[in-house]
Chain A
């Protein structure tokens, strides 16, 4: 079974390619796939009718106890035969339905084959959750098939309507399935049905599962998606919306009926909705003028009929239900395919425009008439056998409650009258000659149907014809399922065409005659229908619900999303105050004793930091505000040092300096002052929130300091750092070894930030290295003097305007630059054992570049670092990542450190720790980040001023503002 399912999915994947190679003939190959399944099922017929079953189980998610459990018994076999048989024939039909030049045929073929596989899986699944998965897969493929290429609004809407309704039902079903599974203690369908358990949970679960079944099988009040789905091509209507998918609900009800029919609520829902659906569907089918819509409402009606039969919960009704299901699949798909042929041949589906087609296409007329006769319940077709069995069952028993049986029987007879009437309307509309309307001329047939096109409907119609007289052969198969249910009638009637003169025969005759009468009086019927029509329908209700949801969504979004960042942030902060704040207030263990400070210096620095922070609030001059914020940063560096964190102090100091420089680079382009844009009451609200948050965080900090009791995770770090990491600076070893994964993520973030800066500043191009001086000019300079000439201490500062040059700065830079770079390398290499490391080293090298840029301008930056920053960032990431991969290749953990120690001549003992390469990656990335920022916020800004770069956009250019 699993192999057949896998074959379907493989075929579905290959289908688009096959269609590309072989055009529409590919459908013939694809048809082989369900045909193989059909053949395999026939081979199992002996086992199953003998009372056996075929089981397969493959573990799927062992942790969840979820298996791919497949089970083939009599019920599954009947549905699987329908799914594969009709599927194969419909695929054959597709090979002629589509024109060679149709668009999207490949996608269609793939979806249809995948649907066939999912549907097969649905009827074979023995696990409740597997059943659900296949159930939703059919929904998804139905959506794709109805929507088609997505270019037609009507098709899109029909597709999403079907999707929303059936998925909503499917979700209800999922909840129901889980409730049932939990109640019965098993998720195997066979075990659940054998012993469902009891209790309110089971009742609720059953009702929810039924919701899924009635949405899928288009029972009222959810019936309207099925006619709307007729937007899909006819093969889809014939297969999904007549034979297979809409039967999923019928299948589920039939599957559960042996165990669940006695659950309170089951019979009222199933029987009530079934009868009502049958009547409403038949009534509305009578007033359709599109042949396909007529059939669609007919399908709705018949699904109601089937629901009553399979949900009744007695042996005789279930047997009738299975026969009817088979009959319906045969005749309804035939009729849809017939309409497809008519549509294909004439381009018309409107029964008011078709006339005399029976004479033009006699073979098609015969096929259609055979199927229609089965639908109306005329002997000797299978439809007659099924309907007869249903009437007999209800006449003799059928339901535990006699009154209920009589009511249901009356409903079914009335529904069958309507069925006969719309059958007549269909035949008359499709094939009859109509007075006052010219018959279709041979020349009007665009595509006269060929043999292969008619093969599928012909085969289906013939099966329906033969299955009637040979219906006793179906008995063992049907009994294999139906015998699970209690017999209510005095005795079980065997399936047969002729049971002698009995009440059911009279009822059958009554339905056909009544239908004929309704058809004969069609003008009167139509007028009455029109008079009785109400301007409300379930469809209107659906759209109104969706619109109401949409309005609600707009209302909620419009109310909550005010578009103001301060308002959003304020809301978040107020929530922080309310929730963690109240916990802190009422539940936190407050410290019992306090110390004033660790050292007086700490208090002094703290005072400076706080004063600077207050000044940052008051100062409106941009640069001064940045400076006071910088003071808090430097103050923090001192606090770090006092706390015993030299690496942090060093890094903080370097970063603070770089931040100041970068700020200055940008702020020189902005106005001097920051304008006040807030009203006093806004400022007051901000102040209240700010003070409250500050108090909250101070309290949180105090509590956090006092409640530390557990042993820190880092207690073994000093030992591990030296033994495994080969370094004495524990913080550095932590960065490049113990927690190297963290660092890898963080340096990746730096790469992203650097790229982001460049992308924001460079409006038009964003790669390449920094501009350099014209090589010709450079060469001339080099010719005149090998060394830097007097007055020109830096190689490119000559390009600066004289008033922007500073000789002192140039000299200092000239002297210090290389020293600083060497120092940065020293920090990098010594960082494993002393304060320093890749971050600090990179920042120092970055500061060296800053110095060159400040002293010599943008060309000088190009001379100092004639390299694309992107390259530095990439190589850095490669180094860091590569260290990890190499460790992996050598058989160790990712990013594990190896210590290589050897004695070299001259150098003596050399100890190489491989995490040094990781640190070099960090170093390169930090240098790349600084260079990228200088290139963007420094050099590029200069260039935009120098070259008066316009920001006016070219007509075809898009710059995101």
Chain B
């Protein structure tokens, strides 16, 4: 099938405008870009689906000359869905405006927080930096002893060889 010049140019123009708007921080412009992209894509689908023809309705023309009905069915639902999504984004815009008086896609604070993060989850901290009762039982053996506890133990239970720090309390204490 011989391509036309007009349709690719329209598709390209709509895509370019859509992408430019999509890269904006203003949600309204993002949504407008989204709509343009939707239109461009529908046109791309339809044009690459075959040459123009008569309406795909029996009785309107010869089936040989009909345009391809399948891309049309796909595009039809796509149009309605685009409307649903557009309404959803509009609701987002409104909510954002109502609650924080802004309709821009700001910088994601959570991402910035991750980038700045210095502390870690408790499960990843070096055992030496934990409270003695939170260290794994065997970690006592790494000689990172709590000196005060050590001295106290030595005073109370002299003569018993050990370099371990205090242990987790046993389970069945009353």
Contact = CB atoms under 8 A, between A and B. Distances in A.
A547 B118 CA distance: 11
A564 B107 CA distance: 5
From B24, B103, B172, name the one whose CB has the most chain A CB atoms within 10 angstroms.
B172
A959 B92 CA distance: 14
B11 to A, nearest CB: 5
Nearest to A292: B137
Interface string B87-130: 11011111101111001110111111011110011111111001
A614 B108 CA distance: 30
B48 A750 contact: no
B149 interface: no
A436 B114 contact: no
A731 interface: yes
A742 B80 CA distance: 13
Interface residues of A, number: 176
B131 to A, nearest CB: 9
Contacts of B142: 535, 537, 539-540
A735 interface: yes
A602 B10 CA distance: 10
Nearest to B42: A636
Contacts of A287: 141, 161-164
Nearest to B129: A543
A564 B141 CA distance: 47
A706 B3 contact: yes
Contacts, number: 471
Contacts of B92: 760
A648 B17 contact: no
A163 B83 CA distance: 49
The A interface is mostly helix, strand or loop, or mixed, namely helix
Interface stretch (A267-275, A321-329, A695-703, A901-909): A695-703
What size tier do the contact residues of chain B reach? Answer: 35 or more
B79 to A, nearest CB: 5
A416 interface: no
Given A343-B171, A550-B124, A730-B69, A570 B23 contact: yes
A947 to B, nearest CB: 14
Contacts of B121: 550
Given A617-B20, A669-B97, A753-B87, A730 B57 contact: yes
Contact of A597 (B5, B50, B160, B168): B5
Nearest first, the 10 closest Cβ-Cβ pairs linking A and B are A694-B16, A698-B12, A558-B115, A227-B138, A563-B111, A526-B161, A753-B84, A563-B108, A704-B48, A644-B67
A461 to B, nearest CB: 22
B60 to A, nearest CB: 8
Contacts of B151: none
B3 A594 contact: yes
A666 B21 contact: no
Contact of B32 (A616, A647, A728): A616
Contact of B98 (A687, A721, A929, A951): A951
Given A224-B138, A690-B23, A937-B87, A154 B168 contact: yes
A834 to B, nearest CB: 7
A693 B157 CA distance: 78
21 contacts: A153-B130, A157-B123, A230-B138, A289-B162, A292-B137, A348-B170, A526-B162, A537-B141, A563-B107, A566-B23, A594-B5, A609-B10, A613-B13, A614-B17, A622-B28, A655-B79, A662-B90, A708-B1, A712-B70, A717-B70, A761-B91
A941 interface: yes
Interface of B: 1-26, 28-29, 32, 35-36, 39-40, 42-44, 46-59, 63, 66-70, 72-77, 79-88, 90-95, 97-100, 103-105, 107-112, 114-117, 120-127, 130, 133-144, 153, 157-164, 167-168, 170-174
A415 B3 CA distance: 84
A598 B173 contact: no
A756 B91 contact: yes
Nearest to A843: B80
Nearest to A602: B6
A654 to B, nearest CB: 9
A694 B66 contact: no
A644 B80 contact: no
Given A640-B46, A666-B90, A701-B11, A651 B24 contact: no
A152 B90 CA distance: 47
Interface in A694-753: 694-702, 704-706, 708, 712-714, 717-719, 721-722, 728-731, 734-735, 739, 742-743, 746, 749-750, 753
B23 A647 contact: no
Given A227-B137, A228-B137, A694-B19, A352 B46 contact: no
B9 A705 contact: no
A675 interface: yes
A770 interface: no
Given A594-B5, A598-B4, A563 B109 contact: yes
Contacts of B6: 596-598, 602-603, 606
A701 B137 contact: no
B110 A296 contact: no
Interface stretch (A475-483, A626-634, A883-891): A626-634
Nearest to B167: A290
Contacts of B35: 629, 633, 659
A533 B142 CA distance: 9
A694 B171 CA distance: 69
Contacts of A719: 63
A562 B115 CA distance: 8
Contacts of B17: 613-614, 616-617, 690, 694
Nearest to A752: B84
B39 A705 contact: no
Contacts of B143: 533, 535
B96 to A, nearest CB: 8
B153 to A, nearest CB: 7
